[in-house]
A and B are shown apart, each in its own frame.
Chain A
Amino acid sequence: MSTLADFQSAFVEALHDEASTFVPANQRPFAVYRNTVMRACIDALEANFPSVLCLVGRDWFRAAAAIHATRSPPSDVRLACYGEGFPGFLESFEPAAGLPYLGDVARLDRLWNESLDAADAEPLDVEHLVGRAPSALEAMRLRVHPATRWQVSPFPVLSIWRPSREGVAVDGALAWRSECAIVVRVAGDVSVLPASPAEITLLEACRRGASLGEAATAVSRAHPDVPIELTLSGLLQSGAFAHS
C-alpha cells in the first residue's frame, strides 16, 4: 500500500466486501470495524424512524435498515440527519409491498426530526393581525416558522403514525382515506396535527412568498367552500407562522 489515500480506499471497500483481498481485512478483528460501522448506521435509522420501528418490529426493521445502510451509507456526520432516502427505500422494498403507507409514515418521522432541530423563531399569533386594515392584511407576507413542516398523503398517515410513535397498535377500524398533517414546534415541543387540504394550500403559498391576498386566492380557487379566515386562524393558533 503506497499512500494513506490508497489505504483508506481499500479499507472502506473491505468494510463493505467480505471477500476483499485487503490484507488487514484477513485478520479476525477487522470484523470489529465492520460490525461497529453497520451497527451505528442501523442504530441511527432506528432512532430516526421510531414509528416505522413500531409498525414492523425490531427484527424486520434492523434487517431492512442493514440493506439500506449498505446501499446508501451516511454521507453526513450528523447521524440525526441520516435516512433521507429511507422512506423511498421502504416504498420500493419488496418485503414491504403489503404496507404501502410505510414510506409516508417514515416521511412523517423525518419531518418530526427536521422540526426538532430547525432554527428558533418567535411564533406569530393571531393578535398580530387583529385590527389591521383589509388592504394591509392582503399585502402581508406571512413567514412560515422554520420548524413547520407538512405532509399530504394518499394514506391515513397521521392515524397510523400517531399510535405507532407512542408504541401502541393502530386501531383496526381505521378509515382508509387520504390525510394531511402539519408538524409544528411550540416552546420546544414538536407536535403533529391533522390539517385540511386548504391549510396545506395556504402554507405552500406562504412558503412560495405569496402575499396573504394571493394565498387567499389560491385557497379559494382550490377549495371554494372553505372559509379562508378559519383556515388562517387555525394555522396561526397552531404556531405554524413566525415573526419575520
Chain B
Amino acid sequence: MRPPLAAGLGFKPRHFDEALRCVSPGLWFEVHPENYMGDGGPRLAMLDALADRHPLSLHGVSLSLAAAAPPDTGHLRRLRRLVDRVRPVLVSEHLAWSAWGGRYMPDLLPFPRTHEALACIAANILRSQEALGRSISIENPSHYLALDGHDWNETDFLAELVRRTGCGLLLDINNVHVSANNLGFDALAYLRAFPLHAVTEIHLAGHGVDEDSPANLLIDSHDAPVGEPVWDLYRHVLSRGGPRPTLIERDGNLPSFDVLLQECVRAGTMLAAQGLAA
C-alpha cells in the first residue's frame, strides 16, 4: 500500500530519470494534462512509467470553468481518457477562464464574482465532474486587477462552490500572497476565512516582481524558490487546518531535481510535524 501523500513536485520531463528513481516517502508528482493529450508516443509512455512508480495529480490549466459557456466537450473527453489511463490521486483546475469565442488565451483570466458567475461556474464544475466520473478541486487564482462588480468575496464564493458541487479546493498559498500584495488585502485574514475543510491540496511556489510596474506588482511566475513569506503563511495554514498534500510548483529557471527535492523535503518536514497528510 502506498503511504499517504506528503509533499510533491511538479514533474518536468528533463527530471524523468531522477523522478523515477526517487524513493522519498510520500513523494508524488503533478502534471498539466494538456501536455499529455496526444494519442500515443514517448511523452505518454513517460507519464505511464511515472504513474507506475508514484502517485500522480492532474492539474489542468485550460478547462476555462469561469467562462459563460460549458467546458469544451472534446477537451473533457481527452481529460477523461487521461484520468482513466493514469488513475490520478488528485484532479484540479483553476477558478479562471481562458477560452472564449473559439479562442484560447493561454493564461488564467479574472472575472467579477457575481451571482451569475457563481451559477455558471457551479454548472461547469458539475458538468466536468460528471464527464470525468470524479470530483475535482478548484484553485484560488492570482490577482493583478481590482475588478468592480463583485457580489461575493472570494472565500465565500469558493465555499459556496464546494456546497453546490461537492468539489474540493486547491489552496495556492503563493497566489494568496501575490494577490494580497497586488490588491492590498490581508493574507492572514483571507486564510482565516478560507474553507480549509474542503482543501485537498496545497500549492507553494515562487513569485517575482514586475519590473515594468511602478506599484511593486508581484507576479505568480513559478520561476524562483518558494519565498519566506509564503512559508510563513503555509505554517499558519497547517497549524489551523492540519496537514494536506503539498506541491512545490516550479516552471521557470528550473534548478536540478535535488534542489527542488530540498524544498519538497522542507514542506514534508512541516507536514510531518503536523502528523501525516490527509
Please tell me if A27 contacts chain B, counting CB pairs below 8 Å: yes
Nearest A residue to B112 by beta-carbon distance?
Answer: A7
Please tell me if B109 contacts chain A, counting CB pairs below 8 Å: yes
Q: Which residues on the A side are within 8 Å of B180 (C-beta)?
A: none
A11 near B109 (CB under 8 angstroms)? yes
Q: Which residues on the B side are within 8 Å of A36 (C-beta)?
A: 106-107
Q: Which residues on the A side are within 8 Å of B212 (C-beta)?
A: 31
Our pick among B38, B40, B105, B148 for the contact of A73 (Cβ within 8 Å) is: B105
Also in contact, A117 and B68, with CB within 8 A (given A8-B97, A12-B105): no
Q: Which residues on the B side are within 8 Å of A44 (C-beta)?
A: 106
Interfacial residues of chain B within 94-144, with CB under 8 A of chain A in the complex? 97-107, 109, 111-112, 114, 116-117, 120, 144
CA distance A185 to B120 in the complex (A): 44
Q: Which residues on the B side are within 8 Å of A24 (C-beta)?
A: 145, 147
Q: Which residues on the A side are within 8 Å of B99 (C-beta)?
A: 77
Q: Which residues on the B side are within 8 Å of A225 (C-beta)?
A: none
Q: Smallest Cβ distance from A187 to chain B, in angstroms?
A: 9
Our pick among A29, A75, A79, A147 for the contact of B144 (Cβ within 8 Å) is: A29
B45 near A4 (CB under 8 angstroms)? no
A28 near B215 (CB under 8 angstroms)? yes
Q: Which residues on the A side are within 8 Å of B89 (C-beta)?
A: none
Majority secondary structure, A binding face:
helix
Q: Which residues on the A side are within 8 Å of B101 (C-beta)?
A: 8-9, 12
Nearest B residue to A25 by beta-carbon distance?
Answer: B145
Please tell me if B193 contacts chain A, counting CB pairs below 8 Å: no
B100 near A9 (CB under 8 angstroms)? yes
Render A130-155 as a binary contact track against B, CB cut-off 8 A, 1 for contact. Answer: 00000000000000001100000000
| Interface range for B | 35 or more
B149 near A1 (CB under 8 angstroms)? yes
Q: Which residues on the B side are within 8 Å of A37 (C-beta)?
A: 105-107
A77 near B75 (CB under 8 angstroms)? yes
Please tell me if A19 contacts chain B, counting CB pairs below 8 Å: no
Please tell me if A5 contacts chain B, counting CB pairs below 8 Å: yes
A1 near B112 (CB under 8 angstroms)? yes
CA distance A227 to B65 in the complex (A): 58
CA distance A3 to B67 in the complex (A): 11
A29 near B145 (CB under 8 angstroms)? yes
Which 8 A-B residue pairings sit nearest by Cβ, starting from the closest? A117-B38, A40-B106, A77-B62, A120-B40, A188-B42, A119-B39, A29-B144, A4-B68
30 A-B pairs in the complex with CB atoms less than 8 angstroms apart: A1-B112, A5-B68, A7-B111, A8-B68, A8-B109, A12-B103, A12-B105, A24-B145, A27-B145, A28-B213, A28-B217, A29-B215, A32-B213, A36-B106, A36-B107, A37-B105, A73-B105, A74-B104, A75-B102, A77-B72, A77-B99, A78-B37, A117-B40, A118-B38, A118-B39, A120-B40, A146-B40, A188-B41, A188-B42, A189-B42
Footprint of A on B, CB under 8 Å? Answer: 34-35, 37-45, 61-62, 66-69, 72, 75, 97-107, 109, 111-112, 114, 116-117, 120, 144-149, 182, 210, 212-215, 217, 219
